[in-house]
Each structure stands twice: as structure tokens, then as C-alpha cells.
């Protein structure tokens, strides 16, 4: 790989890191965050944790993490540091996985290459996420979906570690334990994967261990009084409505925002094509056929998305929220970079167009940083000014101006109805006796 391309790929990773750091700096609490902040002012950790488990839902691992971190919400730049810790852990998990694969398949990539491509992959995963604003940046949601994604990469790497040590098993157990107690769709996919490995008589001990731990963690979630209560208040769909809702959710997930998700992910993933070409001398998969593998990759993506959406639609009795599709996003990101890497390894001829795509990626990431810096800065400034206005105002009903576009951040916007949960959560979090309402 030529030095100029290596330089551009490194620039890509630095620009994406810059984007995550700047976006984290402008992140602000929103909606449910205020609800839990308010509860922590009037009740103990154990009281809130018990209330969630017995009266709302059984996500016992993510609830524990949510309340543990949120007790520190008064610290300066709490959300910024929380986001950076989250991204740092994801980076370590992905880099650990890539390093394990590098050793397992004897690819002989340098550590610098692995570290750079770990960032590129995180970028691919980011754009494969339909709504990263509520999956990656919204505090309340991120401890459920984003942190279970982090746990997945830590757990997945064990299957590629040849000489396993006790702490590798410990990390694996803790990771699948967290997933089982937090993210139901991802739990389902891991159970299926472990069962398939056992049936194929591959990694039987690890698969069996993972299966036992994740099912135990899931049952603690599923059998809770809170989950039972939540099931009682969600509607039951007829078979035809279940099919229709699932079909719509699948189409919405795959196509409604494709110009902002999978297409940018594909362009960013081109770097893995070049990585595969770097080791053309190694025939990694002798039976790799681009068209055949493309077909099976697309089929696997479709089946994954359908199952993900079906599980969520059935559980909620309605359309699936985008954040619940993060399990599909993880699978799609892995399939995408795997295919591009093997395609690059398969092709012997040079493709000049790829160089221009990398240049385009750099330009696009520069634009992403500049444009969303302004968007996020304006949003954060408006939120801060709103909070100051509310705290200084003693009117019985405080009327506030609408917030600007929040970009990749989850919006803290409220409604024109003082009884709406968004309004009451804000009131609770700020410890107000006044009502707060959005200006018509």
C-alpha cells in the first residue's frame, strides 16, 4: 500500500476521532436522563433500582450501570467524559478483536495498522447505526444498547485467542452477562450463534459457557415482575399486524435513511478493501467467490434485520424504535468489512478509483466535522441558555423557545403540553415546582 494512501487512511481515523470528541463535548442530558436525575435526589440507589426491576423492566445490568454513573452527574463535563470512556472501551474491544484475528489467521499486520483500522471500523459501525444520536450519545439509551455492543466485541474476541488465560474467560463471562441482562435482540443472536457452534462441534466449551451465562442473565431479566408488568401494558398484535409492522420496520431500517447510514458506511469501509490487497500474497479464503459471497452476505443481513425487528415488534406490540436495531447494525458492519477485506485480497489488479474514494472520504469527514461542529455548538448553547432561563424564572408556567436541530445528539426538546412526559421529566430533573412548556 502506497505511503500516500496510508497517510490518507490515518487522516480518516483522526478525523473520525475528532468528530466523536467534539460531539461528546456538546452532548447534553435529555428526557429520561432528567427523570433519573430527579429520582436520585429523592430516593436511594436501592429504592430506584428495585422500582425499575419490579415495576418497569428487568434490565438489571444496564439499570445498575445507569444509576451508578448518574450519581456522578454533577461533575463538570460528566457527559463528555462518559461518552469518551464509552468510545475508549469500544475502541479497546474492537482493537482486541482485530489483534486476536490477526494472530489467529497469521495475517502479520503491524500493531499500528490494527489500531488505525479499529477506528475505521468504529466509523463504519457508527454509520451502520440508524440513529446514533439515541444509541451512541443519549445517556439513558447508551447504557443499554451501546454498552452491550461494547461487551459484544470484548466477548467475541475470545473465539480467536489461541492461548486463553483466566482473565480472558473473566472478560468473556462479564461481557455476555451484561448483554443478557440488557439487550434482548443481541442476546437472541448470541444464543443462536453459540448453538450453531455447538452443533458444528466448534469451540464447544466457550459456546457452552457463553450459552449458560447469557441465558441465566436473560432469565433474570425476562422473569422479573417489571418485565411482566410491562408486557401487560403493551398491546398484543394479530399475526397479520405482526407481519405488517415487522415488514415496515425492516424496510424503514434498511432504506429510509440509507443515504446517511449504509452508503457512508460502505465508502468508509473501502479502506478494508485496500487492507485486503495489502496481503494479496496470502490466499485467505480459497473458495471465496465475489458474487456468491455477496449474495450470501445480503441474505444474512436481511435475515438478521427481519429477526431483530420481529423480536422487538412482538415484544412492544408496535413499531420498533431505531435504537433497538443496534444488534443488526453490528452484524451488518462486520459483514461489510469482512466482504470488502476478502474482495481486496481476491482482486489482483489495481483499482485507481479506490484511491479517489479514499480522498473523497477525507473530504467528507472534514465536512462532517466542520458542519456538525456548528450544529452541535448551537444546540448545546441553546440548551444551556434554556436551563438558565428556567432556573431564574419564577412564573407558574415557564414558556421556552424551541431548540435548534440537535444533529447527531439526542434532542432534549419538550412539548406544548405541560403533562407530557418530556416536560415532566425536565421539571423533575431540575427540581422545579413550576410547569415548563414549549412556545406554540
| Residue-wise pLDDT tens digits, 255-268 | 998 999 999 999 99
**Which pLDDT value is given to residue 230?**
84
**Which pLDDT value is given to residue 66?**
96
Higher pLDDT, 229 or 410: 410
**Which pLDDT value is given to residue 199?**
94
Q: Which of 19, 7, 120, 132 lies closest to 366, judged by CA?
A: 19
In the predicted structure, residue 377 carries a pLDDT above the cut 60: yes
In the predicted structure, residue 284 carries a pLDDT above the cut 80: no
Mean local confidence (pLDDT), 135-162: 96
**Which pLDDT value is given to residue 1?**
54
In the predicted structure, residue 282 carries a pLDDT above the cut 80: no
**Which pLDDT value is given to residue 283?**
67
**Which pLDDT value is given to residue 355?**
86
**Which pLDDT value is given to residue 405?**
95
**Which pLDDT value is given to residue 281?**
62
Higher pLDDT, 232 or 166: 166
Q: What is the DSSP letter of 182?
A: T
Quick one: 384 exposed, middle or buried, by C-beta within 10 A (0-12, 13-18, 19+)?
A: exposed
In the predicted structure, residue 119 carries a pLDDT above the cut 60: yes
Mean local confidence (pLDDT), 100-108: 91
Residue 287's pLDDT band (cuts 50, 70, 90): confident
CA angle 207, 210, 212 (to 5 degrees): 110
**Which pLDDT value is given to residue 278?**
82
**Which pLDDT value is given to residue 349?**
73
**Which pLDDT value is given to residue 227?**
87
In sequence order, the 6+-apart residues with CB closer than 8 A to the CB of 36 are 48, 66, 67, 70, 140, 429
In the predicted structure, residue 280 carries a pLDDT above the cut 70: no
Its pTM stands at 0.94
d(CA 333, CA 298): 12
What ranges make up the beta strands (E) of 381-434? 397-400
Percentage of residues in the chain with pLDDT exceeding 90? 81
Tell me the pLDDT of the chain averaged across its residues: 93
> What's the pLDDT tens digit per position in 55-76?
888 999 999 999 999 999 999 9
Q: Which of 144, 146, 153, 143 lies closest to 121, judged by CA?
A: 153
Mean local confidence (pLDDT), 116-122: 97
Mean local confidence (pLDDT), 11-40: 96
In the predicted structure, residue 316 carries a pLDDT above the cut 90: no
Mean local confidence (pLDDT), 79-91: 97
d(CA 426, CA 440): 18
In sequence order, the 6+-apart residues with CB closer than 8 A to the CB of 170 are none
**Region of poorest pLDDT, from 6-10, 299-303, 349-353:** 349-353
Residue 174's pLDDT band (cuts 50, 70, 90): very high
Residue 317's pLDDT band (cuts 50, 70, 90): confident
Strand 435-438 relative to strand 397-400, pairing: parallel
Amino acid at each position: 500500500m502506497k505511503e500516500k494512501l496510508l497517510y490518507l487512511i490515518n487522516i480518516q481515523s483522526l478525523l473520525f476521532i475528532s468528530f466523536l470528541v467534539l460531539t461528546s463535548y456538546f452532548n447534553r442530558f435529555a428526557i429520561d436522563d432528567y427523570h433519573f436525575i430527579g429520582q436520585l435526589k429523592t430516593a436511594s440507589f436501592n429504592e430506584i433500582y428495585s422500582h425499575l426491576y419490579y415495576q418497569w423492566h428487568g434490565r438489571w445490568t444496564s439499570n445498575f450501570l445507569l444509576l451508578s454513573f448518574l450519581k456522578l452527574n454533577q461533575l463538570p463535563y460528566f457527559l463528555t467524559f462518559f461518552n469518551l470512556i464509552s468510545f475508549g472501551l469500544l475502541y479497546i474491544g474492537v482493537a482486541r478483536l482485530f489483534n486476536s484475528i490477526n494472530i489467529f489467521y497469521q495475517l502479520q499486520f503491524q500493531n499500528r495498522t490494527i489500531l488505525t483500522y479499529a477506528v475505521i471500523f468504529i466509523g463504519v459501525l457508527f454509520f451502520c447505526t440508524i440513529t446514533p444520536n439515541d444509541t451512541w450519545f443519549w445517556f439513558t439509551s447508551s447504557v443499554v444498547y451501546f454498552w452491550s455492543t461494547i461487551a459484544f466485541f470484548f466477548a467475541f474476541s475470545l473465539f480467536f485467542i489461541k492461548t486463553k488465560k483466566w482473565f480472558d474467560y473473566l472478560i468473556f463471562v462479564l461481557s455476555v452477562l451484561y448483554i443478557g441482562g440488557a439487550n434482548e435482540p443481541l442476546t437472541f443472536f448470541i444464543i443462536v450463534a453459540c448453538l450453531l457452534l455447538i452443533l458444528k462441534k466448534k469451540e464447544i466449551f466457550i459456546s457452552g459457557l457463553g450459552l449458560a451465562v447469557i441465558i441465566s442473565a436473560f432469565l433474570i431479566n425476562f422473569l422479573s415482575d417489571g418485565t411482566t408488568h410491562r408486557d401487560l401494558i403493551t398491546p398484543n398484535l394479530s399475526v397479520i399486524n405482526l407481519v405488517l409492522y415487522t415488514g415496515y420496520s425492516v424496510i424503514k431500517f434498511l432504506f429510509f435513511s440509507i443515504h446517511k447510514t449504509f452508503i457512508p458506511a460502505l465508502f468508509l469501509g473501502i479502506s478494508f478493501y485496500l487492507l485486503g490487497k495489502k496481503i494479496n500474497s496470502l490466499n485467505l479464503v480459497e473458495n471465496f467467490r465475489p458474487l456468491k459471497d455477496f449474495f450470501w452476505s445480503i441474505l444474512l443481513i436481511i435475515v438478521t434485520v427481519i429477526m431483530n425487528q420481529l423480536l422487538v415488534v412482538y415484544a412492544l406490540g408496535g413499531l420498533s424504535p431505531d435504537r433497538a436495531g443496534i444488534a443488526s447494525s453490528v452484524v451488518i458492519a462486520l459483514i461489510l468489512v469482512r466482504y470488502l477485506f476478502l474482495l481486496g485480497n481476491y482482486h489482483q489488479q489495481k483499482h485507481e478509483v479506490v484511491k479517489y474514494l479514499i480522498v473523497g472520504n477525507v473530504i467528507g469527514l472534514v465536512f462532517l466535522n466542520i458542519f456538525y461542529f456548528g450544529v452541535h455548538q448551537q444546540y448545546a448553547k441553546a440548551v444551556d441558555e434554556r436551563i438558565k432561563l428556567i432556573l431564574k424564572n419564577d412564573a407558574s408556567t415557564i414558556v421556552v423557545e424551541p431548540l435548534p436541530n440537535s444533529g447527531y445528539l439526542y434532542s432534549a426538546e419538550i412539548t406544548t403540553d405541560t403533562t407530557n412526559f418530556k416536560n415532566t421529566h425536565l421539571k423533575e430533573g431540575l427540581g422545579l415546582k413550576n410547569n415548563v412548556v414549549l412556545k406554540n
